A = this chain, B = another copy of it.
Amino acid sequence: MSASSPSPSLATDRAAPGQIETLASRYARLRARSIALASPLSAEDCGAQSMPDASPVKWHLAHTTWFFETFILECFEPGFQPFDVAFRVLFNSYYNGVGEKHPRAQRSLLTRPDLAAVRAYRHNVDTRLLALLAEQPGEALNDLVELGINHEQQHQELLLTDIKHLLSLNPLQPSYDASLPQPRSVANPLEWIAFAGGKQRIGFDGGGFCFDNELPCHTTYLQAYRIASRPVSNAEYLRFVEQDGYDDAQSWLSEGWDWVRANALSHPLYWRPGATGWEEFTLAGTRTLQADAPVVHLSYFEADAYARWAGARLPTEAEWEHAAATRRISGNFADDGLLHPFASAQDGLAQLFGGVWEWTQSAYSPYPGYRPAPGAIGEYNGKFMVNQYVLRGGSCATPAGHIRASYRNFFPATARWQFSGIRLAKDTD
């Protein structure tokens, strides 16, 4: 991939090289980055909601602030007064332990408070939280701020996927940022990398932050397996499309087939037939589909069907993590300023991190011995462990420092609007 300079709007998300950053500095940088991500957008863009699963940008900006206010300021700030008592309900996402919440599908109806008020809310909470960090340093506070930072990083990715979905439904097919570079990219031939089986340790056991769903680190047992050296490319997936992959029940899970029929699907979410071939809607608008770039915006059902059609399967999350465990975490992250996946000329097992989230065949379930945190914070992950599938590795919309080999993302089998793609696996013959 040719070098490309990051988008100016994201330039704030860079710590100066060679220095250890304070938590307060990281907090301030994170918060500025959210504002930068929203900067190409009008207040109207920030208020709209394309579907119940997506949220308005304004809501992301407010909810992440609510998280810091509710779980930190309310506990630690002496004489805490809420910025606005109504926000406790308006910007609660799903924490039943906190109380009532505004219906998810009606977030676009919250035209008040307006975007300016939400920015004022952010500023207020930032001032108070930075004061708190200066006055009351301590492990409990730091841990919660760390959680809040990681939480907001997740919403930064959702902000991008949600605004992409919204813009894609506008007949004008407008861009988020038309100046995003689009490097030419060439993929290496797909190779199979073999791994021996046996007992393996899975889950987080390093220092620093992880989510509770990555714990505890535990022993599991893997059969020997092979994993593809890179994600499936658009050219490869196009063969599936052209050879009637969406019209043949044999490749599909039963529920996936019903879903394909009911929604009359015949290609990935953002592919559009153009005058001279397939095009793809991106955050930079509609562009020619690049043959070698990883295919992206697939549901689990599509990823699974493609794998079966290709004589392979999706990896389990344990296989993926085992393969990734010793790899350096680098790749095509949001900080590149591309906001789209591209092929890499890297040899060997490549592109595990960044680019596209890779569907695994694993249902999202608790690790043996999993314990959610007490209180409302414990609702963060555990209560979603049903009817969802695990994705690994991060994407081109993930902040660079956010990901780990043990990181578990999860979505329902029909979700297509994330930057989700396919890495194939096989049994060892």
- Rounded to whole angstroms, the CA-CA distance of A47 and B35 in the bound complex is 21
A386 CB within 8 Å of chain B: yes
- Pairwise interchain contact B365-A362, C-beta atoms closer than 8 A: yes
Interface residues of A in 244-268 (CB under 8 A from B): 249-250, 252-257
- Pairwise interchain contact B413-A387, C-beta atoms closer than 8 A: yes
A21 CB within 8 Å of chain B: no
CB distance from A121 to the nearest CB of B (A): 14
- Rounded to whole angstroms, the CA-CA distance of A97 and B249 in the bound complex is 8
A134 CB within 8 Å of chain B: no
- Pairwise interchain contact A220-B218, C-beta atoms closer than 8 A: no
A385 CB within 8 Å of chain B: yes
Q: Identify which of A107-115, A153-161, A205-213 touches chain B.
A: A107-115
Q: Given contacts A221-B219, A254-B383, A362-B365, is CB(A166)–CB(B48) below 8 Å?
A: no
- Pairwise interchain contact A170-B111, C-beta atoms closer than 8 A: yes
Q: Given contacts A86-B171, A221-B219, is CB(A111)–CB(B252) below 8 Å?
A: no
Q: By the criterion of a CB under 8 Å from any partner CB, how many residues of chain A are at the interface?
A: 69
> Taking beta carbons and an 8 Å cutoff, which residues of A are in contact with B?
42-50, 58, 86, 89-90, 94, 96-97, 102, 106, 108-115, 166-167, 169-172, 174, 199, 218-223, 225, 249-250, 252-257, 300-301, 304, 313, 316, 361-363, 365-366, 368-369, 379, 383-387, 413, 427
Given contacts A44-B46, A223-B368, A316-B368, 20 further A-B contacts (CB under 8 A): A43-B43, A44-B47, A48-B48, A49-B108, A50-B109, A90-B171, A97-B249, A102-B171, A106-B169, A108-B108, A109-B169, A111-B170, A218-B223, A219-B221, A223-B369, A225-B368, A253-B383, A255-B384, A255-B387, A363-B363
Residues of chain B contacted by A108 (CB below 8 angstroms): 48-49, 108
- Rounded to whole angstroms, the CA-CA distance of A112 and B169 in the bound complex is 11
- SS class of chain A's interface: helix, strand, loop or mixed? mixed
- Pairwise interchain contact A369-B427, C-beta atoms closer than 8 A: yes
Chain B minimum-CB-distance residue to A169? B109
Chain B minimum-CB-distance residue to A363? B363
- Pairwise interchain contact A253-B386, C-beta atoms closer than 8 A: yes
CB-defined A-B contacts under 8 Å, sample of 24: A43-B43, A44-B46, A45-B114, A47-B48, A49-B108, A50-B109, A97-B249, A102-B171, A109-B166, A109-B169, A111-B166, A111-B170, A112-B172, A112-B174, A113-B172, A199-B199, A218-B223, A222-B368, A223-B368, A253-B384, A254-B384, A316-B368, A362-B365, A368-B427
Chain B minimum-CB-distance residue to A382? B253
Residues of chain B contacted by A42 (CB below 8 angstroms): 43, 111, 114
Chain B minimum-CB-distance residue to A200? B221
- Rounded to whole angstroms, the CA-CA distance of A413 and B386 in the bound complex is 8
Q: Given contacts A47-B47, A221-B199, A387-B387, is CB(A96)–CB(B362) below 8 Å?
A: no
